[in-house]
């Protein structure tokens, strides 16, 4: 199928064009909100480590220096000092650490319909007051009894964006902390993690990694609010002096909350994040949102009304039943909450969008 790359507002997207060579997918892939595509360089990094592991040579053991380069790359993308970043394997594990820090009876405010990993660690404790409100009115529901607001920057189900500035103002006014899940934002949306006590981000969607990579950022002031309950030797200030017996000293920054890394996933993450840094999130944002706008305009011509917004996650209520037929036609989308969800990233082209619209018009 023919592929073209859109130029937006005169922006030079030559690097974005060059990125085409990094991807080898054979489908019309419009499903990044479920899972991103690994670049060729990431696949090569995994293969190299796996082959070394199979040969029994040290390169197969995994490289902590590479993990720390991934940490530093994410810190740059998130606009925070590297000392604020902990690495792990899953968002729910990070959220569980935050949930464990709250006293019994503490109120946690979440949006209605929020992604399960953001809310379940609070719900399953059983002794917290978890309260839900419409996403559009989260700021108005923060009160003097609210201990924490936990929400996604961009909703997984339909791409709706939270008014994070308004929520931050409300939490500051009432002395509440704030947890932001940037999983559906970081990688396409310029995202600044610095205003929030905590952020969590899975690395296998818009960050083009695989499952097994996730990031927790903790403000310097909030680091004393968390107990590193799963601390292993990697949470020590000097890891190699803490392999046996009680650790002499916890890491001074957020690294004290590290999990032992899944090395194959982190070896893949390094070239993936490097690719995003080379292109620039502003260019990715312009590309992705232009494709979403093209799709929304096409849907309007077909008489379909998607959930309002401008994110590259576009959900159309009532069309979830079309997803199996689309997949059979080689078009990868998702069915979520009764809607057909398509999501557009740097490997998506105008031709991909048009092909989806053509099939939906049948």
pTM: 0.94
DSSP code per residue over 210-235: -TT-EEEEE-TTTGGG---TT--GGG
Q: Count of alpha carbons within 13 Å of 268, Cβ hemisphere only?
A: 24
Q: Which of 227-234's residues contact partners 24+ apart within 8 Å by CB, and which partners?
A: 227/97, 227/100, 227/101, 228/97, 228/256, 228/257, 229/97, 229/100, 230/93, 230/97, 230/259, 231/256, 231/257, 232/259, 232/260, 234/64, 234/258, 234/259, 234/260, 234/261
Select from 116, 113, 71 the least CA-distant residue to 92. Answer: 116
Q: What is the pLDDT along the chain (362 residues), one digit of tens a residue?
A: 333 334 444 444 577 777 888 999 999 999 999 999 999 999 999 999 999 999 999 999 999 999 999 999 999 999 999 999 999 999 999 999 999 999 999 999 999 999 999 999 999 999 999 999 999 999 999 999 999 999 999 999 999 999 999 999 999 999 999 999 999 999 999 999 999 999 999 999 999 999 999 999 999 999 999 999 999 999 999 999 999 999 999 999 999 999 999 999 999 999 999 999 999 999 999 999 999 999 999 999 999 999 999 999 999 999 999 999 999 999 999 999 999 999 999 999 999 999 999 999 98
Residue 302 contacts residue 361 (beta carbons within 8 Å): yes
């Amino acid at each position: 199928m023919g592929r073209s790359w859109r130029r937006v507002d005169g922006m030079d997207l030559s690097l974005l064009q060059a990125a085409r060579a990094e991807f080898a997918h054979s489908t019309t892939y419009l499903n990044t909100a479920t899972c991103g595509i690994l670049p060729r360089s990431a696949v090569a990094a995994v293969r190299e480590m796996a082959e070394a592991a199979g040969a029994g040579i040290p390169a197969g053991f995994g490289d902590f220096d590479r993990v720390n380069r991934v940490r530093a790359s994410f810190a740059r993308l998130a606009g925070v000092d590297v000392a604020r970043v902990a690495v792990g394997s899953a968002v729910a594990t990070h959220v569980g650490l935050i949930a464990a820090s709250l006293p019994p009876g503490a109120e946690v405010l979440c949006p209605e319909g929020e992604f399960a990993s953001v809310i379940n660690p609070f719900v399953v404790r059983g002794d917290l007051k978890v309260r839900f409100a419409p996403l559009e009115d989260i700021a108005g529901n923060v009160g003097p009894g609210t201990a924490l607001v936990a929400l996604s920057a961009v909703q997984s189900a339909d791409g709706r964006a939270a008014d994070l500035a308004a929520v931050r103002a409300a939490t500051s006014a009432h002395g509440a902390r704030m947890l932001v899940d940037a999983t559906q934002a970081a990688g396409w949306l310029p995202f600044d993690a610095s205003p929030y006590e905590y952020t969590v981000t899975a690395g296998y969607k818009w960050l083009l990694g695989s499952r097994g990579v996730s990031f927790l950022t903790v403000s310097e002031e909030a680091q004393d609010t968390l107990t590193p309950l799963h601390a292993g030797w990697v949470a020590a200030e000097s890891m190699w002096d803490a392999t046996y017996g009680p650790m002499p000293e916890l890491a001074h920054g957020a690294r004290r909350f590290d999990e032992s890394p899944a090395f194959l996933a982190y070896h893949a993450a390094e070239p993936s994040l490097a690719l995003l840094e080379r292109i620039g999130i502003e260019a990715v944002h312009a590309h992705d949102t232009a494709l979403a706008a093209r799709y929304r305009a096409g849907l309007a011509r077909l008489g379909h009304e998607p959930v309002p917004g401008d994110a590259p996650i576009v959900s159309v209520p009532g069309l979830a039943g079309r997803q199996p037929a689309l997949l059979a036609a080689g078009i990868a989308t998702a069915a979520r909450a009764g809607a057909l969800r398509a999501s557009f990233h740097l490997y998506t082209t105008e031709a991909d969008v048009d092909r989806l619209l053509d099939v939906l018009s049948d």
